């Protein structure tokens, strides 16, 4: 029977996703990933290289999936608010991306800038985001997208601060989402207006 390489890679990526999300890059253990996947750990090195490369592969795969699952659609400030709300919903339902991005920032930091595939992914994302914002230049679009991504990623990871700053309640996530959508829409309106004034 032939070895199913793609299945093995999927098993390893799934196990690595759970391990890195829980323990970060430094705390993750290759032997735990291999055991969870039911695969010899030598396969990790064979398919992905060192642990840093496996982490990068995990995050890249999750980001690409997220881009497909939360498409940017429409035009204008309301489209930006809609995107922010749907991204919030996605990341709240599956907090893996926020956790991985925070771990990456803490443990890999500026080293990620050398990753050409990640740079290309983010450039594509900014260019797609610009399509929502008529007349807005790349820098302003990038700033707004960074603001949205920061706000969306922070809440699942820094939710413990919520109790200190805001009254909770069973509708807390919905109220947070509404603030995020309103904020993103207002910032987008400002960016579109500024671009129109400068034209």
Least confidently predicted of 39-48, 111-120, 134-143: 111-120
Mean pLDDT, range 110-130, rounded to an integer: 87
Residues ≥6 apart with Cβ < 8 Å to 140: 133, 191, 194, 195
Give the pLDDT band (50/70/90) at residue 109.
Answer: confident
Q: Give the tens place of pLDDT for each residue, 121-173.
A: 899 999 999 999 999 999 999 999 999 999 999 988 888 888 888 877 889 99
Cα 134 to Cα 77, 80, 191: the distances in Å are 10, 11, 9
In this predicted structure, the answer to whether residue 99 has a pLDDT above a threshold of 60 is: yes
Residue 108 tokens, joined: 């890999």
State how far Cα 199 lies from the chain centre.
33
| Mean pLDDT, all residues of the chain | 92
């Amino acid at each position: 029977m032939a070895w199913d390489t793609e299945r093995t890679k999927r098993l390893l990526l799934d196990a690595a996703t759970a391990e890195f999300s829980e323990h970060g890059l430094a705390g993750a253990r290759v032997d735990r990933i291999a055991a969870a996947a039911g695969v010899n750990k030598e396969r990790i090195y064979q398919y992905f290289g060192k642990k840093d490369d496996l982490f990068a592969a995990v995050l890249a795969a999750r980001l690409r999936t997220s881009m497909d699952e939360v498409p940017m659609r429409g035009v204008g400030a309301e489209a930006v608010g809609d995107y922010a709300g749907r991204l919030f919903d996605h990341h709240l339902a599956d907090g893996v991306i926020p956790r991985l991005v925070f771990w990456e920032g803490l443990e890999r930091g500026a080293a990620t800038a050398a990753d050409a595939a990640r740079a290309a992914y983010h450039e594509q994302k900014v260019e797609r985001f610009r399509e929502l914002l008529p007349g807005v230049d790349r820098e302003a679009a990038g700033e707004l997208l960074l603001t949205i991504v920061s706000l969306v990623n922070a809440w699942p990871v820094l939710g413990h601060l919520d109790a200190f700053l805001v009254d909770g309640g069973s509708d807390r996530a919905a109220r947070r989402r509404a603030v995020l959508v309103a904020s993103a829409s207002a910032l987008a309106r400002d960016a579109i207006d500024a671009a129109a004034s400068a034209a």
